[in-house]
Amino acid sequence: MKKILFMLMAILALTACSDDNVSDLNLSGSCSITELALDNYDGAIDKTTRTITVRVPETYDISRMSVTKLNLSDGAKSNVNVNDQLNMSTPQAVHVTNGDVYLYWTIRAQRDEAKITSFKINDTYVGTINEDTKTIMVYVPASLDIKKLTPTIAYSENATISPASGIAADFTNPVAYTVNNNTASNTYTVTVKKIDKPQALYVGLAQSMDELNIEEKTACNWMLQHVPNSFYASFTDIKNGSIDLSDCKVIWWHFHKDGGVDGKSNFEKAAPEALEAIPQLKDFYKNGGSFLFTRYATNMPGELGIAKNGGVPNNCWGLVEADAETCNGPWDFKMKGHTDHALYQNLVKGDDANCVYTTDTDYRITNSTAQWHIGSDWGGYADYAAWREATGGIDLGYGGDGAIVVWEFPAEGTSGKTLCIGSGCYDWYSVNENYTEKFHKNIAIMTTNAFNYLMNK
């Protein structure tokens, strides 16, 4: 019994608290930012997310802003101090300490933006926004009552708009919409144009233009702004006969899919809506309509029977938009004696007059390619003559390894013409918008040439 009692006393002695074991950590301090201003613009403090938003005028230079006010909780310190210079082009982290407690806060500068970012009529017809002229063009079928159309409008965060989104309006004449946001204000003029019989169509898998991916939407926006009497239609619209094609001269399909579409079976799995519209597209073609197929849409001539052997590009790949490759300089493909073709007129020239340059330094590109490998090693086409004989096509552009990246199927009988551009250099959208454009404008020039050529202008 004495032995047990002794052991208990020993354990108590070892576990008893002493002054030496009391923590000296100071955990009672608060790490709040109670006031902050940059260049005398007061920040709005969100304690829940620990973010501070400093709103500045629309065109304000935020690359070098001074901390003009900073108040913290009693006893707190910060790694940022009054008079410090901050580059607010990106959010800045602030480390606040108080004793042995610390918290991180985030400061961001937000310009007062007053923009319309999306304009849709009757939840279906998407407007093309020209930010330079502050104009919006919306094309609608002739059957709609233009005197009573309801717009759905998306606009800048924190802004207000008048007239309001969701309010029906008479678009017999252009309607002005004004967006206000603190120091920023812009007025957009919206014009609605009724189209009974479009002369050109941009087609896609999506039911509306608004649902296109960013690469396809960028191309479509360009067309609606630059090709008169043009319209967006889905392949389902074509199949159902919802669009009157009697005056249509050109149908353009620019088909992008992250990661690429390699081979006939993969194309058919990726684009079932396009296949369902083949009977109507064949009728359009036989009646003199022409096609512009770009990127993975270049598989379509094989499906339509335009390529004699039903063949499709045999060498296809592509990156995803989020991980696009950065160009160290202009990318190009070769013309090899076809410089006089209508497709290549009025281009911005580079060092090699036989090259079509299409990108610039720092342009981000998915290099989405649909080309024909030529050679006796693999692919089924020993040389260009064998490819021409098998497909009925005319090769117009070539990759660095000699692959055919641009080609044409000439008109036969009453049919129209078909132009195909499968070069990875043909790209409309860059994740990085901060590059100096010189050669990328050749994409628009070449596409304009294609429309003029296919419309026999």
Note whether 143 and 251 are same-domain residues: no
Mean pLDDT of the chain: 92
> Are 225 and 141 in a shared domain?
no
Helix ranges (DSSP H) in 243-393? 264-270, 272-276, 278-286, 300-304, 384-391
Q: Is residue 4 part of a domain?
A: no
pLDDT tens string 373-419: 999 999 999 999 999 999 999 999 999 999 999 999 999 999 999 99
Residues 257 and 358 both lie in one domain: yes
Q: What percent of the chain has pLDDT over 90?
A: 81
Q: Write down which residue in 180, 196, 212 finishes a domain.
A: 196
Whether the predicted pLDDT of 23 surpasses 60? no
Whether residue 8 lies inside any domain: the answer is no
Check whether residue 185 and residue 217 sit in a common domain.
no
pLDDT per position as a tens digit, 66-105 = 999 999 999 999 999 999 999 999 999 999 999 889 999 9
27: in domain? no
Whole-number pLDDT of residue 210: 82
The structural domain count of the chain equals 3
Do 80 and 95 sit in the same domain of this protein?
yes
User: Do the Cβ atoms of 159 and 111 come closer than 8 Å?
Assistant: no
Name the domain boundary from 88, 111, 134.
111
Question: Does 192 lie in the same domain as 166?
Answer: yes
22 domain residue, yes or no: no
Read off the pLDDT of residues 311-350 as tens digits, 9 standing for 90 and up: 999 999 999 999 999 999 999 999 999 999 999 999 999 9
What's the pLDDT score for residue 100?
85
Q: Is residue 24 part of a domain?
A: no
The whole-number pLDDT of residue 24 equals 64
Tell me, what CATH number does 331's domain have?
A: 3.40.50.880
Cis peptide before 279 (omega within 30 of 0): no
Whole-number Å distance between alpha carbons of 298 and 321: 20
Are 245 and 124 contained in the same domain? no
Is the C-alpha dihedral spanning 338, 344, 346, 352 positive or negative? Answer: negative
Interstrand relation of 65-72 and 85-86 (parallel, antiparallel or unpaired)? antiparallel
User: Given pLDDT bands bounded at 50, 70 and 90, which one contains residue 35?
Assistant: very high
- Domain limits at 95? 33-111
Whether residue 123 sits in one domain with residue 70: no
User: How far is Cα 250 from Cα 291, in angstroms, rounded to an integer?
Assistant: 6
For residue 18, tell me if it sits in a domain.
no
Same domain, 192 and 321: no
Q: Do 205 and 185 reside in the same domain of the chain?
A: no
Q: How many helices (H) and strands (E) does the chain have?
A: 9, 29
pLDDT at 26: 61
Q: In angstroms, rounded to a whole number, what is the distance separating the alpha carbons of residues 81 and 156?
A: 32
Q: Which residue has the tokens 């935020």?
A: 62
Contacts of 117 (CB under 8 A, 6+ apart): 129, 154, 155, 156
Residue pLDDT, tens place only, 175-233: 999 999 999 999 999 999 888 789 999 999 999 888 999 999 999 989 988 888 888 99
Domain-ending residue, one of 176, 196, 216:
196
Question: Phi/psi zone of residue 158: left (φ > 0), alpha (ψ -120 to 50 degrees), beta?
Answer: left
218 shares a domain with 131: no
Rounded Cα gap, residues 359 and 384, in angstroms: 27
Q: Is the pLDDT of residue 12 over 50?
A: no
Residue 23 covered by a domain: no
Instruction: Answer yes or no: is 17 within a domain.
Output: no
Count the Cβ atoms, other than its own, within 10 Å of residue 351: 8
Whether the pLDDT of residue 246 is over 60: the answer is yes
CATH number of the domain that 103 lies in? Answer: 2.60.40.2340
Q: Residue 3: which pLDDT band, with cuts at 50, 70 and 90?
A: very low
> 112-166: per-residue pLDDT in tens?
999 999 999 988 788 889 999 999 999 887 778 899 999 999 999 899 999 999 9
233 and 147 both lie in a single domain: no
